Amino acid sequence: MKKKILIVGGGTAGTMTANNLAKKLMPEIDRGEIEITLISNSKNHYYRPGAMYVAFGKSEGYEFVRDQRSLLMSEINFEIQEATEIDTKNNFVKAKSGKKFEYDFLVLATGCEAAPDRIPGLSEGGDWFYTYEGATKLAKKFHNITKGRVLVTVNFPKTPNIPHQCGIAPVETTIMLHDFLTQRGVRENIEILYTYPTHAQSVTNGLFLQEPTSKVLPAVFDGAGIKHRTGFTLSKVDAKKKIAYSAEGEEIEFDILMSTPPFIATKFIRESGLSQALDNEGWLPTDKKTLKVKGLSNVYTLGDVVDLPVSKAGGTIHNQTDVVADNIASELRHGYPTENYDGLVIAIAQMGLSCGMPLWYNYEEDVQPTPCSKLGSFVRKGFNKGIYWAAARGMV
Ligand SMILES: Cc1cc2nc3c(=O)[nH]c(=O)nc-3n(C[C@H](O)[C@H](O)[C@H](O)COP(=O)(O)OP(=O)(O)OC[C@H]3O[C@@H](n4cnc5c(N)ncnc54)[C@H](O)[C@@H]3O)c2cc1C
């Protein structure tokens, strides 16, 4: 009987994995033995890092959106459906429309979402660049500010050892902001204050979630006149008075609060009963090597929804997708998975408007910071302008 692979989520993780699976399993697909279906609740596919450039007026965002169908190989079935229910005993996912999608193998790739409401006052008083709407709002504020203070705050999930989306993004945007305000000629009248919470994954009282980067950041920030302070865990915002309060008992006034909000898994996963993460955050319990959901032999997961201690980043997914695709292909052909994920993350951080820093790390080794360069920026630009779409199609 035809075997069915179902992928839920048409973002970076779902799209790359669907295309990689279609390539690996082409002979079986051609013979009508295997069928791949991807369902997603959006017609569009967003290149999420593009929002950062929108925040600094470098893009309106249109070039960072593609029609989801256009990114998938023609052999993949695609339907716009909102998954609402999962039955792992009877192997099906149910959609809001009532349609049931049965599977032999399931890949859960529904990402995560910003949840500013989890901190009192943050929705009203704060801004963030993690969504296109938020970035557009922020762009207007960055364009108009002439004096005062931009306060940067970073929030981590409550579940231990889980990062927020894209660990380096708060650093990238703080330095981009310095460049942007310098270009506008208003930097000397505006204080940029970067703060970091007391506990950030395994680091305590640092400026970043890994020790080696945390140690070099003070010099980087000092060089740009960016003020920095650790031990500021945002607990409350007074939107009227424009004051941010910390769990450590401090208060800081701001003109603009650029915050990394709390992140949680999407509703479908939070309500699936598959996660026991703290505060109903919904992170999927994931085997760090096979990338299977723990306790479920035919369900894989990757991307921002997992509970692994690695960055929630495209540069992570790029290395996870082959593990998932190889393992499913091998299970179908031979009855056992063959690949293990080693925690590899490779990315180019945008350290300012025209400087790129290559970074890589895995479960064993932290990022070793290297000087950022114009060449790094060139590669990052290439990724933004087109390499990403090739990567999503499984070509890079
Ligand atoms: C501002 C910003 C900057 C970033 N910078 C970088 C960077 O420099 N480098 C880097 O590597 N990464 C970066 N990232 C992170 C990267 O973009 C994410 O890690 C990546 O997009 C996550 O992919 P994903 O597929 O797991 O989730 P998503 O891309 O969010 O995709 C999830 C998909 O699931 C769908 N979905 C959700 N719920 C359902 C449902 N119930 N039913 C059906 N479909 C559903 C959604 O519509 C979406 O298509 C950045 C992110 C942001 C926001």
Q: Report pLDDT digits (tens) over 58-99.
A: 999 999 999 999 999 999 999 999 999 999 999 999 999 999
For residue 378, pLDDT over 90 is answered with yes
Q: What is the pLDDT of residues 305-348, one digit of tens each?
A: 999 999 999 999 999 999 999 999 999 999 999 999 999 999 99
Indicate the residue type of 287: D
How confident is the model at residue 111, as a pLDDT?
98
Return the residue whose CA atom lies nearest to atom 23 of ligand 1: 12
> 12 C-alpha to center of ligand 1: Å?
6
368 pLDDT higher than 90: no
Ligand 1 centroid–CA 113 distance in Å is 8
Return the ligand 1 atom nearest residue 311 CA: 19
Q: Would you say residue 371 has pLDDT above 90? A: no
Mutate which of 7, 39, 40 for ligand 1? The one with the most ligand atoms within 8 Å of its CB, which is 40
User: Would you say residue 365 has pLDDT above 90?
Assistant: yes
- Nearest ligand 1 atom to the CA of 314 is 11
Looking at residue 242, its pLDDT comes to 98
User: Atom of ligand 1 at shortest distance to CA of 82?
Assistant: 42
What is the model's pLDDT at position 253?
98
The pLDDT value given to residue 1: 87
Q: List, in order of start, the domains of the chain with CATH numbers.
A: 3-111+266-344 (3.50.50.60), 114-263 (3.50.50.60)
* φ and ψ at residue 141, rounded to 5 degrees: -65, -45
Residue nearest atom 29 in ligand 1 by C-alpha distance: 11
Residue with tokens 């082959």: 322
Question: Which residues surround ligand 1 with Cβ inside 6 Å?
Answer: 8-14, 39-42, 48-49, 51-52, 82-83, 109-111, 129-130, 165-166, 169, 266, 268, 303-304, 312-315, 317, 347
Residue 227 burial class via C-beta count within 10 angstroms: exposed 0-12, middle 13-18, buried 19 and up: middle
pLDDT at 125 over 90: yes
Question: What distance in angstroms lies between residue 39's CA and the mean position of ligand 1's atoms?
Answer: 15
- On the question of pLDDT at 369 being above 90, the answer is no
Q: How confident is the model at residue 202 (pLDDT cuts 50, 70, 90)?
A: confident
Q: Nearest residue CA, atom 6 of ligand 1?
A: 49
Tell which residue, 221, 220, 167, 230, has the closest CA to residue 192.
221
**For ligand 1, mutation pick of 16, 48, 387 (most atoms within 8 Å of CB):** 48
First to last CA, the chain: 33
**Ligand 1 pocket test target in 19, 42, 137, 304 with most atoms within 8 Å of CB:** 304
In this structure, are residues 196 and 207 in contact, taking their beta carbons and an 8 Å threshold? yes
Beta-bridge partner residues of 114? 263
H/E segment holding residue 374: helix 374-382
Average pLDDT in the 108-133 region? 97
- Average pLDDT of the chain is 96
Q: How many residues does the chain have?
A: 396
Alpha-carbon span 143 to 139, nearest angstrom? 6
